[in-house]
Amino acid sequence: MSNIYKHLNVDIQDVDPNTWSIPTDRPQKNLLLRIFSNTNVSPPNCFTIGNNNEEISFAAYENSRARHSGDIGFFTMHDVVLRNTGYIFHDDHLLSHPGVMLPYVKGMIENGQRDDFIDSGPLVTREIEGPVAIITAEAPQIYGHWLLDYLPRLWLLRRYLRNTGVRIALPHLVPRWARDIMLDYFDMKLEDFVYFDQGADLVKIDHAIIPTFLHAAHEFHPIMNEFVADLVDRCTGTSDTSDTGERIYISRHLQRQSTLSRRRTLRNEDEIMKIAQDYDFNIICPEQLSWQDQIKIFSRARVVIGEEGSAMHNTLFSPPGSVIATVPQGNHVQFSLSSLRNHSITFLPAVDLSDANGEVYYRIDRARATEMFQEAIRRLGSGPNY
């Protein structure tokens, strides 16, 4: 495909979110139906532990850079081709709008670092009659992408869709836990899913409905707070089975060898967890819990400390005014979540960090870790009332 890197431009049409519902007739023209316009995003409330230059520089950058949420709405398109795990083409042009493609993915494509869109062998052409919705794209095996990218798109679809006949196209490698979340928390049925083989199928769809992310480059639109509120209300309305309190420490120690993302090893984790327990933090391994229990626990937590990654993104459910701290590095997505949710946030850099064969090993200084726990607790006590 010689022009695979040509990007598709789509016209924008504004619609009234109070009266509008998704049209399910086949469109004559490819459009972005915009329900919420791009808005400026406030910087997060960053703080630092001591006078570490790395922390100060990162916080200054996060507080100074321009942030925009992007337009929120739905692409309605005809005669599209779906490749790999959910990349959308029309007349051999790729839909790379920031509402459906993360910037780092687009950059890799433009730099010739991605060839998984190019036909490596004969594919089976599969035609699916629409309307069909597309919600997945990059790495649909990773929890963080479902939490921040794909489930909010499904929520947006369910909110504005009046026709129950629209199915969801999903690659076969979508994990069972993701399917179960859609069934249990978004009122989907098994017959609502139409699966394709991301490695063997060339999927042709005559009418596609494509909800945007609720962010641009993970700078979140305020509508994301309504997604959060709906899920918290749904999950916390049932009886509680345990009380983990306001202070939780998120550990990766039980899933280091099974993670599908980059492996990271905290060499002195036992020492850090002992400090957490000394300050009355409950140790939480989210992968051991149901999604409902995860939402309950994080929605009650007011101080959350842990290793950066998808599990920490569950702070999406923590209430405004919460205090968040990550190790061993600052994570722009985590800081953007704190901006959305009005959290205070910091990070503690690692010492003795090394990278061997794609695995990261590091240690956290005990004295500075103690300082981090103390400061996080102090911040909560001295913060504004919400």
The residue type found at 385 is: N
In a domain, 234, yes or no: no
Do both 106 and 149 map to the same domain?
Answer: yes
Do both 251 and 215 map to the same domain?
Answer: no
Do both 89 and 187 map to the same domain?
Answer: yes
Number of domains in the chain: 2
- Contact assessment for residue 143 and residue 175, using Cβ atoms and an 8 Å cutoff: no
pLDDT per position as a tens digit, 222-280: 999 999 999 999 998 765 555 678 999 999 876 655 554 556 788 899 999 999 999 99
**Which 8-state DSSP code applies to residue 319?**
P
Do both 213 and 245 map to the same domain?
Answer: no
In a domain, 205, yes or no: yes
In a domain, 2, yes or no: no
Round to the nearest angstrom and report the end-to-end CA distance of the chain: 54
Where among 161, 188, 222 does a domain terminate?
222
Do both 342 and 284 map to the same domain?
Answer: yes
Do both 201 and 335 map to the same domain?
Answer: no
Positive/negative CA dihedral, 19, 211, 129, 96: positive
- Contact assessment for residue 128 and residue 197, using Cβ atoms and an 8 Å cutoff: no
206 falls in which pLDDT band (50, 70, 90)?
A: very high
pLDDT per position as a tens digit, 274-316: 999 999 999 999 989 999 999 999 999 999 999 988 999 999 9
Do both 29 and 101 map to the same domain?
Answer: yes
pTM equals 0.92
CATH code assigned at 335? 3.40.50
SS3 state at 215: strand
Q: Which residue(s) pair with 326 in the sheet?
A: 306, 347
**Segments forming the whole domain that contains residue 79:** 11-42+68-222
Where among 192, 222, 252 does a domain terminate?
222
Do both 200 and 272 map to the same domain?
Answer: no
Do both 247 and 310 map to the same domain?
Answer: yes
In a domain, 230, yes or no: no
Do both 21 and 163 map to the same domain?
Answer: yes
In a domain, 356, yes or no: yes
Do both 18 and 153 map to the same domain?
Answer: yes
In the predicted structure, residue 3 carries a pLDDT above the cut 50: no
In a domain, 6, yes or no: no
Q: Which residues contact 66 (CB under 8 A, 6 or more apart)?
A: 40
Q: In angstroms, rounded to a whole number, what is the distance separating the alpha carbons of residues 386 and 174? A: 38
Do both 22 and 159 map to the same domain?
Answer: yes
φ, ψ of residue 138 to 5 degrees: the values are -70, 130
Where among 222, 256, 284 does a domain terminate?
222
In a domain, 16, yes or no: yes
